[in-house]
Amino acid sequence: MTNVVIGSLGEWVRSNAFKLTLALFMIPALAVLVIFQLVPTVWTIWISFTDMALLGRKFHEYSFVGLKNYEKAFNDFGFWASMRVTIYYCLASLVLRFLLGLAAALYITSRKFKGKRIMAAIFLLPYIIPGAIHPYVWLSMLETDYGTVNRVLRALGLPPQSWMYERLTESIIAINSWAGYALAMLVLTSALTSIPKEYYEVADIYGASRWFKFRKITLPLIKYPLILTLILIFKEDIDDFTYAYMFTGEIPYPDYRTELLALYAYHKAFSDFELGFGCAIGFIIAVIVFVITLVQLKIGGV
Amino acid sequence: MERGFLKRIAEPSFTAIGYVVLLCLFAYVLSPLVWLFVTALSPKGSPYLEIPERLTLDNFVNVITGRVVGGTKTAMHPVYTSRWIANSLFIGFATMVITVALSAPAGYALSRLRFRGKDLLMTAILLIGFMPMTAKMLPIYRLARQLGLIDNLLGVSLVIASGTIPTQIWIIKGFFDHIPKELEEQAWICGCSYLSTLFRVVLPAAGPGLAVIAFLSFLSGWGNFTVPLIMIYSEPLYPISLGLASIFVHNPGEIGLAIDYGSACALSVIYAIPPILVYYAFREHLMKIRLGKLEVR
């Protein structure tokens, strides 16, 4: 009896050897994904309900505290201050990155302007150099006395600003939109060039106006990439705190002017050692990303 | 009459406005980069744009050999530029090896196998990659501390690789999907074993795809900031990104550098060169993949 079972099992294994090998191929990648991505994501939720600390006794002997971390967050001055900064930063970056990317994409896809290939290569540069460089390259722009921005402002007769201190939030927004507009440019360029020219020719035969062509041909065909771009831009902005960190360091400014939510979570965990509280902020960020993504998908009707 | 006049005026003025906007965009995009390259090549760096009297490569030599002198601000700590470059190279190559070794077989299996729930699995893989990094970074720190991966370059590479694997699996699966199954079947008929079919037929045919995921994963290790930030605490083990952050002084009201501007810009240029090379070499492929750069930062 057992022999028969083992024999038929062996038969099955032999006849499905290829498939079984392939299934084995998937296991290492899936294991790494589960250990270093899925487990931390779920663990965040668990830690956010405890009073785990980064150092000392409470690193191992933490206890369940229920919703106390969230209650603390919602009654915290720092949380709402950084929430305000985050909303300002994300909205301004979203608009600027999208509009700059759209302008660049229109140049690259238009037939009129010269030197498009070189232009596309140059427009791509800020996006592909690593993020830790961006604050450096902007030093020359933001310097108070001889920085390029203030020189331009003086030449136009406007008062120069202290970009490195009082207007730090705006500086970070400028850097971020400079670094990231190329994402919208890439997606929109490929979406615009993928629309067949025949559609416009047919519309021209029927005497369609420019607005009609835009509304009935261009917009429906680039709608999906458009929504995707907006989602990706938002996710990148709320998730990436490289610039904010480089302009802030380990201690937040007293008025939280650079404190994005992500940076706030980092500071709470690594400067105040409140790992549970930091995880609560992290989970709130994840929820915000999830909700905004769903809303954008819903509005886009995708 | 009126309309015709408007039309005659409108087209050229649109073009003119277009050129003006283009010029502004151009200045916005290029002026910071021009300062970076000019300062890296000039003997005396300064935080604002000025024409150098002569060009020199001394800054690059200083950075690569690690003979960087402290600047005017707070340069109390020693600067390990040459080690930072070596660490970044190590993290980049380790991430590349881990990612390719894990995602190429998985992508091949997902391309060839048919089973119930495959679409669900692919979506789940993508969603895991889409989860915000800031939501997972604290548990990753804790996990790394329990596994002894803090201050460990290989551990950093492993975590970065796990973050980039979802995208790379999707990309390489697309390349494998384009290789006809008949190619493999013919090889089997001719007496090739599964493994030698894989190494002699399938992998060479997927060569460009493997190159793309290799370079993308190298860049994702080379340019990463957040993972080293939470996992590396000893200064000689910093990659370039953390090194750059550590010499960027940000006392309230005063922002500047802890080393001289020429060296910092030379280090930045060295840091920027590999991504630029890869993107211009693979532009056609990347345009086709379109979303290849989702999380490379």
Q: Give CA separation, A201 vs A121, A207, A219, in Å.
A: 30, 10, 16
Residue A258 in domain: yes
User: Any chain B CB within 8 A of the CB of A143?
Assistant: yes
Residue A47 to residue B142, Cβ atoms within 8 A: yes
Residue B105 to residue A25, Cβ atoms within 8 A: yes
CA-closest candidate to residue A279, choices A24, A38, A45, A27: A45
Q: Which of A40, A131, A183 sits opposite B136 (nearest CB)?
A: A40
Alpha carbon distance A110, A211 (integer Å) = 17
| Chain A residues within 8 A of B248 when measuring between CB atoms | 135-136, 246
Residue A130 to residue B275, Cβ atoms within 8 A: yes
CA-closest candidate to residue A127, choices B157, B24, B2, B280: B280
Domain boundaries, chain B: 2-56, 81-289
- Give B210's DSSP letter: H
Residues A13, A95, single domain; the answer is: no
| Chain B residues within 8 A of A171 when measuring between CB atoms | none
* Whether the Cβ atoms of residue B165 and residue B129 lie closer than 8 Å to each other: yes
Mean pLDDT, residues A82-100 taken together: 90
For chain B, list residues with pLDDT below 50: 1, 71-76, 290-297
Domain range spanning residue A19? 2-47
Per-residue model confidence (pLDDT) at position B176: 82
- Give A49's DSSP letter: T
Q: How distant is the Cα of B200 from the closest Cα of chain A, in angstroms? A: 17
Alpha carbon distance A52, A173 (integer Å) = 34
Per-residue model confidence (pLDDT) at position A113: 64
| Chain A residues within 8 A of B223 when measuring between CB atoms | 130-132
Structure tokens at B27: 């200045």
Residue B48 to residue A140, Cβ atoms within 8 A: yes
Alpha carbon distance B269, B34 (integer Å) = 11
* Whether the Cβ atoms of residue A61 and residue A49 lie closer than 8 Å to each other: no
Residues A183, A107, single domain; the answer is: yes
Pairing of β B248-251 and β B254-257: antiparallel
Does residue A5 have a pLDDT over 50?
yes
Q: How distant is the Cα of B147 from the closest Cα of chain A, in angstroms? A: 11
Mean pLDDT, residues A212-228 taken together: 80
The per-residue pLDDT for range A43-57, each reduced to its tens digit, is 888 888 888 777 777
Q: Which of B29, B134, B291 sits opposite A239 (nearest CB)?
A: B134
Identity of residue A259: E
User: Any chain A CB within 8 A of the CB of B49?
Assistant: yes
Q: How distant is the Cα of B142 from the closest Cα of chain A, in angstroms? A: 8
Residues A90, A140, single domain; the answer is: yes
Q: Which residues contact B267 (CB under 8 A, 6 or more apart)?
A: B63, B81, B84, B85, B240, B243, B244
Structure tokens at A142: 């933001």
Residues A24, A107, single domain; the answer is: no
The per-residue pLDDT for range A259-285, each reduced to its tens digit, is 888 888 888 888 888 888 888 888 888
What percent of chain A has pLDDT above 90?
A: 2
- Chain A interface, best mutation among B136, B160, B164, B203, by max A CB count within 10 A: B136
Q: Which of A131, A186, A235 sits opposite B132 (nearest CB)?
A: A235
Alpha carbon distance A90, A261 (integer Å) = 11
Residue B138 to residue A186, Cβ atoms within 8 A: no
Structure tokens at A182: 């190329």
Q: How distant is the Cα of A65 from the closest Cα of chain B, in angstroms? A: 18
Q: How distant is the Cα of A249 from the closest Cα of chain B, in angstroms? A: 7
* Whether the Cβ atoms of residue B230 and residue B151 lie closer than 8 Å to each other: no
Partners of B259 in the beta sheet?
B70
Alpha carbon distance B23, B29 (integer Å) = 10
Residue A29 to residue B106, Cβ atoms within 8 A: yes
**Which pairs with CB-CB distance under 8 Å and at least 24 residues apart come from A164-172?**
A164/B253, A164/B254, A164/B255, A165/B252, A165/B253, A165/B255, A168/A247, A168/A253, A168/A257, A168/A258, A169/A85, A169/A88, A169/A89, A169/A257, A169/A258, A171/A138, A171/A142, A171/A247, A172/A89, A172/A243, A172/A244, A172/A247, A172/A258
Identity of residue A181: Y
Write down the residue that tokens 């975590």 correspond to.
B159
| Chain A residues within 8 A of B161 when measuring between CB atoms | 32
Q: How many structural domains comprise chain A?
A: 2
Residue B18 to residue A36, Cβ atoms within 8 A: no
Tell how far CA A162 is from the center of its chain.
Answer: 28
3-state helix, strand, coil in chain B (%, to 5): 70, 5, 25
Alpha carbon distance A167, A141 (integer Å) = 13
* Whether the Cβ atoms of residue B82 and residue B67 lie closer than 8 Å to each other: no
Per-residue model confidence (pLDDT) at position A14: 66
In B136-175, the residues whose Cβ lies within 8 Å of chain A are 136-143, 158-159, 161-163, 165-166, 169
User: Any chain A CB within 8 A of the CB of B127?
Assistant: no
Q: How distant is the Cα of A285 from the closest Cα of chain B, in angstroms? A: 7
- Number of Cβ atoms within 10 Å of the Cβ of B266: 27
CA-closest candidate to residue B141, choices A287, A273, A259, A79: A273
What torsion, rounded to 10 degrees, do the Cα atoms B14, B18, B24, B26 define?
-170
* Whether the Cβ atoms of residue A296 and residue B155 lie closer than 8 Å to each other: no
* Whether the Cβ atoms of residue A170 and residue B70 lie closer than 8 Å to each other: no
Residue A128 to residue B105, Cβ atoms within 8 A: no
In B56-75, the residues whose Cβ lies within 8 Å of chain A are none
- Number of Cβ atoms within 10 Å of the Cβ of A96: 18
Residues A39, A77, single domain; the answer is: no
Residues A293, A250, single domain; the answer is: yes
Q: Which of B106, B133, B272 sits opposite A133 (nearest CB)?
A: B272
Residue B102 to residue A133, Cβ atoms within 8 A: no
Q: Is B204 left (phi over 0), alpha (psi -120 to 50) or beta?
A: alpha
Strands (E), chain A: none
Rg (C-alpha) for chain A, rounded Å, is: 26
Residue A140 to residue B132, Cβ atoms within 8 A: no
The topology (CATH level 3) of B81-289 is MetI-like fold (1.10.3720)
Q: How many residues appear in chain A?
A: 302
Per-residue model confidence (pLDDT) at position B93: 92
- The DSSP H or E segment spanning B254 is strand B254-257
Q: How distant is the Cα of A56 from the closest Cα of chain B, in angstroms? A: 13
- The DSSP H or E segment spanning A119 is helix A116-128
Q: Is residue B273 classed as helix, strand or coil in its secondary structure?
A: helix
Q: What CATH number did the domain enclosing A157 receive?
A: 1.10.3720.10
| Chain A residues within 8 A of B26 when measuring between CB atoms | 122
Residue B137 to residue A18, Cβ atoms within 8 A: no
Q: How distant is the Cα of A3 from the closest Cα of chain B, in angstroms? A: 28
Alpha carbon distance A197, A294 (integer Å) = 33
The DSSP secondary structure of A277-298, one letter per residue, reads HHHHHHHHHHHHHHHHHHHHHH
